[in-house]
Structure 1
Amino acid sequence: MVKPTLLVLAAGMGSRYGSLKQMDGVGPNNEAIIDYSIYDAIRAGFGKVVFVIRHSFAKEFLEVFSADRFGGRIAVEVVYQELENLPEGVTVPEGRVKPWGTNHAVMMAAGAIHEPFAVINADDFYGAEAYRVIGDYLSQLDGSRNRYCMVAYDLNRTLSENGTVSRGVCTVDAKGNLASMVERTQIERMADGRIVFHDGGADEELAEDTPVSMNLFGFTPDYFTYSKEYFGTWYAQNRENLKSEFYIPTMVNKLIGDGTAELRVLRSTAQWHGVTYKEDKPALMAAIEKMIAEGKYPRDLWK
């Protein structure tokens, strides 16, 4: 059994939320969502955390999330996602200012991770059960290749009361592996109770228990090699679109589609929490207080 690593994607600023939400206090002692994620990961047997950040806010970020914060409970490393950090032979197109996306962020950790690893968004509260499920799976993959996983949530447990959301809607085959993942935007619960997505001019209903991706994936290190190799192809197809992004689902769908890898879909009945909008924060804080009252977390997380 191997101790997996947690890769935290914290380089984004959260345009809709309007601030560096990765560091925003949501716990009773100003703990951030990241704190709860790492606390849950430690309990689930993870041995290291790697943060993907940007140099523009590194000083501010590292003043908070240094190894000292976690009391030596877990090793900490930092890598940087910058526009110019590209595979050999690829250059930044003139006029490009937008970051390259989540899978590019994952690629930045290739030199820091040599064991099975989980990828999370810094601003998603996934719940302890999700870390236990993915941690157990990854701990058995030492030396394996092409065997990946993800934790899927029931759609009805991932909505916001304050606006629409985008989710990766998953199709799962008879073996429990991912068959396809399609990004659906503008998903919301309607006044009549139905869950509907509106992207592409459609108004299509989705079932309450539709499995969706919240970017909680598990990979083995060979994933870095595949990503680096494929980035050039993706870049050639998208370089003229200065807002295109190299997403994790893009890479996952490619590897599944060509038969290179299988990705096991692990289901979680946990309630996802997040701060897609500023108005989501009070509900998240109330949920954390409830979990503390139920004994799921201590009031002072790192004491």
Structure 2
Amino acid sequence: MGKPTLLVLAAGMASRYGSLKQVDGFGPHGETIIDYSIYDAIKAGFGKVVFIIRKEFEDVMRSKFDEKLAGKIEVDYAFQDFDLTKFGVDRVIERSKPWGTAHAVMSAKDKVNEPFCVINADDFYGTDSFEKMAKFLTSEVSDAHMSLMGFEVGKTMSDYGYVSRGVCEVSAAGNMDSVTERTNIYYKGEGTDHKIVYNENDIEYDLDPKTRVSMNFWGFTPKVFDVCLNLFPSFVEENADNPKAEFFIPSIPDYMVKHEMADFKVIPTSSKWFGVTYPEDKPIVQDSISKLISEGAYPEKLF
């Protein structure tokens, strides 16, 4: 197989963060979190990066990435917008934001023809994740066998508010039985009562800290685009009057598993994920990156 592609979800508006965190600086020379992901991806053997963005972000993103990545990795852009006709929807639906992460992935369908990895722009995943995913995408992946990185939910939390995670059920063989997007996971209690819970329909449920979750770090083939295009029109019709409805990535693998179209290997990692959801997360991320640099995991200046 040839080199895989890295698909970076960078179209979000970061409402809880308060600014465009995709291009915010966290490293000692203003490096973004995306910079560290791309650095790891290049080392792991990825051949191209495609940024999925809103059209109005294009100039800012190009000024941040085009020049410094020239000659290091191929760079391209795809745009997530409100034009649904290209996805088989023949009417206009008024919304304040696009239709979610799987809608974003579909926006890159004309840019990717090889196995690819999907990540969030504002999540720091670490070298181990990219090395394991690159190996999978170059030696193991097929239309019937795809993957996700499985993080322990207890190593992905924020101390400052709720988070969204794709909660996985994992088989004895290490494959995903199901994945459910939980959009309201948070810490509750103090001391010995301190625990992780998620809220659904105003009911709280406990969540084991070692539960494997998806951090939107998926290993796909272009077959996924076909499945998305098949499911999206009916999703839109069913949710046309719900401005908060989102077509999430985990619903696609979940559908494929339940309909025996593919299995998804859960690639385990004990790495501690970190990212920025709230402004208070920024100094924690900066300190974490500084520590990794001091340990020799990254050079002080990436590019």
Smaller-chain TM-score range?
over 0.9
Local SS of the residue matching 1:248: coil
Number of residues of Structure 1 aligned to a counterpart in Structure 2: 300
TM norm structure 1: 0.94
Alignment of 1:181-196 (within 5 A): 181-184=179-182, 185-191=184-190, 192-196=193-197
- Give the match for residue 173 of structure 1: 171
Are positions 1:214 and 2:215 aligned together?
yes
Deviation of 1:93 (Å): 3.5
Are 2:180 and 2:251, in contact at CA under 8 Å, matched by a contact in 1? no
Pairwise CA RMSD: 1.5
The SS at the match of 2:250 is: helix
1:180-220, CA deviations, whole angstroms, 9 ceiling, x for partnerless residues? 11222132253133222233332322222110111111100
1:131-175, CA deviations, whole angstroms, 9 ceiling, x for partnerless residues? 111111011147x31321000101111011112222111100122
Whether 2:52 is the aligned partner of 1:33: answer: no
Taking the aligned partners of 2:85 and 2:275, their CA distance within structure 1 comes to 30
Tell me the distance in 1 between the aligned counterparts of 2:117 and 2:108.
12
2:19 matched residue in structure 1: 19
TM-score (normalised: structure 2): 0.94
Label 1:147 to 1:211 Cα distance change in 2 as closer, same or farther (>3 A): same
Runs of 4+ deviating beyond 6 Å: none
* One-letter code aligned to 1:282: P
State the match for 1:151 in structure 2.
149
User: 2: CA distance between counterparts of 1:87 and 1:146?
Assistant: 26
What secondary structure, in the 3-state scheme, does the structure 2 residue paired with 1:229 have? helix
- Name the aligned partner's letter for residue 143 of structure 2: R
Q: Which ranges of structure 2 fall in alignment gaps of 5 or more residues? A: none
Q: How many angstroms apart in 1 are the aligned matches of 2:37 and 2:189?
A: 31
How much has 1:243 moved relative to structure 2? 2.5
Instruction: Determine the C-alpha separation between the residues in 2 that align with 1:195 and 1:162.
Output: 13
CA contact (8 A) 1:170 1:211 kept: yes
Aligned to 1:268: 269
The more displaced of 96-105 and 111-120 is 96-105
Report deviation, 1:95.
Answer: 2.6
Which runs of 5 or more structure 1 residues have no equivalent in the other structure?
Answer: none
